[in-house]
Structure 1
Amino acid sequence: MDRLLHLDRTLDALDPPAWAPPGADATPLVRTVHGLRQVPLRALRPADLRTLVSQQVALPYVLPLAVGLLLDEPMLDAYFYEGDLLLSAVDAPTSAWALFPDLREQLCKVITSLPDSAVSGLPRGSADNLARFVTHPEPLP
């Protein structure tokens, strides 16, 4: 499947059914995610991808886009801190990664090449999460 084939389409179009508008009492995060489903894939910014990946929304479409950015800049500061998109990606469920073994392998190579100084600047526990992703295709209990 060509991963770039659908860049002009939205997640609502690619990942049916389209979501109904959020309720009046919806949180800002829910409103954001609903809005991002209506944005063409090519217009999604790194912060948008981080939000969608961390919320596990339409991962078959957004995970390859996120990895594409991470292969070029693994410590990308998408919104909160350097490496936040990377940590969101490695926390994606194993089932999502099973769809993209080649991307997972490429990301593993990038992670193992990160300097210790980059990893040490991440939040507590991040080094363990990165190591788990590289060494264990299945999540640990």
Structure 2
Amino acid sequence: MEQIEGNFWPAPGDDATRLVRTAHALRREPIGSLGPEGLRLLISQDIGLDVLVPRAITLLHQDPLAEGDYYPGDLLGAVLEVPSEYWARHQDLAEEVDGIAGTVPEEDLLHPLPERIALFRSGVKHFLHS
């Protein structure tokens, strides 16, 4: 991702948290090698959204409940929490995410996914289903 963005972060300091060290390392990985957990972590930290959200959507089309380290669907949960400003710029992707979320039977949605889907839909309702 660093090469795509042309933004090379300096090495994290000795006192950096595990999250910071992991995010730095993941930014150096080839985008195609990032799985659900790497995507979940970076997206949830608002890192590289323009590059990573489309990749996450591709994985979610294959498996809406793609799982990182937390629970089935945690990648979808991270994508649903992307700031609404992003979705305003990428309305086509918002429509895709809404469609993906709609494919998962309600009984398969673990907490907090139902609430995140509802919040996502309320946050982007002005351009969903228009």
> Quick check: TM above 0.5?
yes
Structure 2 match to 1:129: 116
> Is the contact between residue 60 and residue 99 of structure 1 (CA under 8 Å) also seen in structure 2?
no
Structure 2 match to 1:82: 72
TM-score of the pair, normalised by structure 2: 0.88
Structure 2 match to 1:8: none
Q: 2 CA distance for matches of 1:48 and 1:31?
A: 12
| Bigger proportion of residues as helix | 2
Cα deviations across residues 62-111 of structure 1 (Å, max 9, x unaligned)? 01101111112111112211010000000011122233222211221121
CA RMSD in angstroms comes to 1.5
TM-score of the pair, normalised by structure 1: 0.81
Structure 2 match to 1:26: 16
Q: 1 CA distance for matches of 2:27 and 2:50?
A: 13
Structure 2 match to 1:44: 34
User: Aligned ranges for residues 1-141 of structure 1 at < 5 Å?
Assistant: 11-119=1-109, 122-123=110-111, 125-137=112-124
Q: 1 CA distance for matches of 2:65 and 2:100?
A: 10
Q: 2 CA distance for matches of 1:134 and 1:70?
A: 17
Letter of the structure 1 residue corresponding to residue 71 of structure 2? Y
